[in-house]
Amino acid sequence: MAETLAGPAEETGAATAHNLLLQQAAPRKMRLKGRYSKIGLDLGSSQIKLAQLKHKNGQIYLWQYGIYPLPEGALEGGKVEDPGLLAERLQWVLQRRRFHKRRVNLCVGSQNVVLRQVLLPEMHPKEIPSAVRWEAEKQVMMPLEETVVDYLYLGRRLVDDKMMIELALVAVPKEVVNGYLEAVTGAGFYPEAIEIEPLALQRMLNLELPGGAAGDPAISMLLDLGAEYSNLVLLKNGHFRFARTLSIGVDHFCRRVAEAGQLSLETARRQIFSRDPFSLDGFQDVADDLANQVSRSIEYYANNIWDGKRQGSEQEMEINRMLFCGGGAAIDRLASFLGFELKVEPKLLSPLEFIQAGKKLYQPDLEQEENMLNVAVGLALRGWR
């Protein structure tokens, strides 16, 4: 099992209330701790998404969920601009959804996350925090005293006949983390952990492929198409290997179609989700740009990070599955187009394939919205490993 290594707050420059805690979602049998999960809180570009799980006799149920629009001006570019306004909205949500307690796991927007994969010489685990801080001074273009820094142990690699430690180094401005904490605690929630979106999505993939991800030499790809941006995550043997934030989201399709057709943004959005989007002027251009960004990211991973061609091995890097989720997953034919361009079979990632819906939930709404709940459900799953 992959090991999580996190330095103490005074060494990593963590925010005063919480560290940025990373937890590798290893593909192993889940240990359900407590009858109810924490609330997974996903504060996206345009929506608040919450999910809480419950288990009975080893079966996981979606106990409660909610998807609500964000108030304008509360959160911009992954940064909380008005904590008071966001707290009011979260309080409003709490009045409309019955959650078990108010302990939450949340994630920060990927736009403000610096994620680097670094190699260090083998050393004792107690020495890693100091080495990470030294490495962060080179990798992170922010003053460390103003930054939350954490790291995730990815494994050991042989590089030029020398064994190295591979880490994922994560850095987020303190003001970004504290903005989230101020809003969430102001609403009456109790934050348990803050993490990055790729790790929440990883838990979903490992539930999607129980027992099949571990030991599989091929690469699994997950694409979460959000409103302002998208997250691309690559995993090998069920473990996190690479993530990149792509600059294209659903809003880019809407703006391009609106400009090309001289439509309002709302009309463009309605047409994209209600008819063949590839028949709309401008849509194909954005789809091509998205496919190119994904392809370039895969090429970067293959040329700079992937370790298949070492120790005399000539194994080709193969991506054998692409899971598609997020608000953009509801756009007709987009997943098929990306699968064709990337030469991989696409599949929609749905939490309801392996999590039962609670009896009190309204099924028609849930069937339409489930593709947007993957990050929130992945956050709720944290701690049930």
Q: What is the 3-state secondary structure (H, E, C) of 83-138?
A: HHHHHHHHHHHHCCCCCCCCEEEEEECHHHCEEEEEEEECCCHHHHHHHHHHHHHH
How does residue 239 score in pLDDT terms, banded at 50, 70 and 90?
confident
CB–CB of 216/319 below 8 Å?
no
Single out the residue of 177, 175, 172, 167 nearest to residue 129, CA to CA. Answer: 167
In the predicted structure, residue 267 carries a pLDDT above the cut 90: yes
Task: Establish how many alpha carbons lie within 13 A of residue 203's alpha carbon, considering only the half-sphere containing its beta carbon.
Answer: 26
pLDDT at 106: 96
**Burial group, residue 228, by CB count within 10 angstroms (0-12, 13-18, 19+):** buried
pLDDT tens digits, 135-164: 998 888 888 899 999 998 888 888 888 899
Percentage above 70 pLDDT, the chain? 83
CB–CB of 378/231 below 8 Å?
no
Q: Does 264 reside within a domain?
A: no
In the predicted structure, residue 1 carries a pLDDT above the cut 50: no
Q: Does 66 reside within a domain?
A: yes
Return the structure tokens found at 224.
């979460």
Count the Cβ atoms, other than its own, within 10 Å of residue 85: 17
Q: Does 260 reside within a domain?
A: no
User: What is the span of the domain harbouring residue 197?
Assistant: 9-253+281-381
Q: What share of the chain is helix, strand, coil (3-state, %, to 5)?
A: 35, 30, 35
Q: Does 263 reside within a domain?
A: no
pLDDT at 10: 31
pLDDT tens digits, 315-339: 567 888 899 999 999 999 999 999 9
How does residue 276 score in pLDDT terms, banded at 50, 70 and 90?
very high
pLDDT at 360: 67
Return the structure tokens found at 108.
């920060």
Percentage above 90 pLDDT, the chain? 55
Single out the residue of 379, 327, 375 nearest to residue 46, CA to CA. Answer: 327
pLDDT at 55: 85
- The CATH number of the domain holding residue 181 is 3.30.420.40
pLDDT at 319: 87
pLDDT at 321: 85
Q: Does 248 reside within a domain?
A: yes
pLDDT at 209: 58
pLDDT at 74: 94
pLDDT at 339: 95
Q: Does 259 reside within a domain?
A: no
Q: How far is CA 240 from CA 27, 110, 122, 200, in A?
A: 11, 16, 20, 11
CB–CB of 24/152 below 8 Å?
yes
CB–CB of 377/354 below 8 Å?
no
CB–CB of 62/355 below 8 Å?
yes
How many domains are there within the chain? 1
Give the residue with greater pLDDT, 366 vs 87. Answer: 87
Q: Does 272 reside within a domain?
A: no
Q: Does 178 reside within a domain?
A: yes
Q: What is the 3-state secondary structure (H, E, C) of 351-366?
A: HHHCCEECCCCCHHHH
